[in-house]
Structure 1
Amino acid sequence: MPQLTCLTPIGEVTVSEEDGAIVALDWGRGRDQDRTELLGRAVGQLQDYFDGARGGFDLPLAPHGTAFQRRVWGALRAIPAGQTRSYGELARLLGSSARAVGQANGANPIPILIPCHRVLAAGGVLGGYSGGEGPTTKLWLLEHERRMTDAAGQPQLALGPFGPGLAGTNLR
């Protein structure tokens, strides 16, 4: 499986391709470094994201998972940069439980590109994050997107029902 590593402000990340689509983003340096056209585009878009020039991604993604997990991951992709949703909001949207949404969120094989970091627990609690350094990485990504949105001259976006910025969130 072709892989390519990208150095980011939150450490090295490696994207993997299978059958013409991105199937994984993992923290750390990949064993194989095989630059394909798609992996080159993915790394370029990640660099643009971390440089503050891009809030979303235009790449073919094919995460391996159940039908329900793929529905949750599709809902995550609809959350704009600079905004968040709660597990409960996504559960209502998908006709599911917040716990099932949280489990699917945690199983996301393509973090950042499928922005699972944009989901908060009830009451604005930051919650966990399986990538990088856990909640510290999640908070960095959310703050990065907030700064990107502010720098674009757009009004600061409300983060779901939790108000502007990340005031009131905590690392529980």
Structure 2
Amino acid sequence: MSTTRNWIQWSAAAAVLLALGLGLFLRNPNREGGVRLEGEVQNFSGERFDLARFRGQPVVVNAWATWCGPCRRELPMLLEQAKAHREIRFVFLNQGEGPEAVRAYLEEARLDMPEAYFDPNSGVIQRWGAQGLPTTYFFDAAGKLVAKHVGELNKEQLLGYLSLL
């Protein structure tokens, strides 16, 4: 009788795990065609718009925050590469902070960030399946996700991703 009960328990556990795995697969935003360059953000002035307006050229979206150490370390290199690769639009998408906090940080760090945007509730990157900060997304000119990097980028990694665009 205990052999039957063990078999039933194992079968039930396997069914639950299969259902969970299938559920995660079906809701995975990174599946083919799932992540697109779109979502409402705002600029320093508070103007709201959809990221889809940037379609038509390759776009790099860097999700970051001023309190994030790895974000702070990679930011100067990303800004430098944005100036060096003007054919690619770099969008710096702050997560959960306001313009005042970002402006104060940029002044303190002496950084010039011409493409600073805000995702106040992190809704855009949650839909894109972000797993932490920093996360950098690489979109082709049609707005389709080509690559995603979770964690701090170094220059060689960034250049490798840019070559895909």
Q: Shared fold (TM-score greater than 0.5)? A: no
TM-score scaled to structure 1, two decimals? Answer: 0.25
TM-score with structure 2 length normalisation? 0.26
Q: Structure 1 or 2: larger strand share? A: 2
The higher-RCO structure (CA 8 Å, 6+ apart) is 2
